[in-house]
Amino acid sequence: MDLDRIKRVAMAAAGKGGAELTRRFGKLSRISTKKGIADLVTDADIAAEAAILKTIRSAFPDHAVLAEESGAAGKETASRWIIDPLDGTTNYAHGLRIYCVSIAFASADEVLVGVILSPPLEELFIAVKG
């Protein structure tokens, strides 16, 4: 398994998602709730997730995905991407620049790569097992 390639794709996907969030910050056209009043979803969540998924699926079409907004997708495989396109939706929706993109890659239920991008701070955190 090429963890360096997985890391590069995760970084690129986070960058694409972060760009969507930055572009839409302060210009939300839709905010709704999922399970309760504090569980928000915005058009930015959905757009960022779409950009992330497009990047990952173009590189790894056979990998499964578990994404916050769209749920589980893809055939059941040992390789799975776990995505929160906008971690901190409530802050984002209220105009607070305290949010990030979170992406992890797991194989056989063990997380091997994690990428966290804070677009407002332009900070990227990366972890690779080993």
Question: Domain ranges in the chain?
Answer: 3-128
* DSSP bridge partners of 80: 64, 106
Quick one: how far is CA 69 from the chain centroid? 10
CATH code for the part of the protein at 3-128: 3.30.540.10
Question: pLDDT of the chain along its 130 residues, tens only?
Answer: 899 999 999 999 999 999 999 999 988 655 555 555 555 678 899 999 999 999 999 999 999 999 877 766 666 778 999 999 999 988 998 899 999 999 999 999 899 999 999 999 999 999 999 8
Distances (CA, A) of 106 to 53, 61, 88, 122: 16, 15, 22, 25
